[in-house]
Amino acid sequence: MSNIVNATDKTYRAEVQSSTTPVIVDLWAPWCQPCKAINKDLEAISETYKGRVKVVKVNVDENPELVKALEIRSVPTILFYSAKGSSPIAIVGATTAKQMIAKFRLEELPSAI
């Protein structure tokens, strides 16, 4: 079973901004082939870093308020919030698990309790 959470315009604050663990947000669309291509990498990260990082997906077609608020111009866009209230680090376009782990410095996260 997947550890990935789906968020909406209404649940984003609770799922992401109020999270007590770092969060990776995947802003995607069902018609986007690169978005589909990174799903397995996000699944792998959610398993490998379970308890240390939360992975959240947001369908941009179904959540226009959030897309506007976050100023998303292209999908996939991956955002990483290292701490509650922090500004995100972004990757725009297709990427790999290895690239996300390096850019977001996931290896430096403390072990899960």
**Which residues are designated catalytic?**
32, 35
User: Which tokens sit at 72?
Assistant: 């998303």
User: Which tokens sit at 77?
Assistant: 């866009």
- The residue with tokens 């984003």 is 12
Q: How far apart are CA 42 and CA 57, in angstroms?
A: 10
User: Which tokens sit at 110?
Assistant: 């403390």
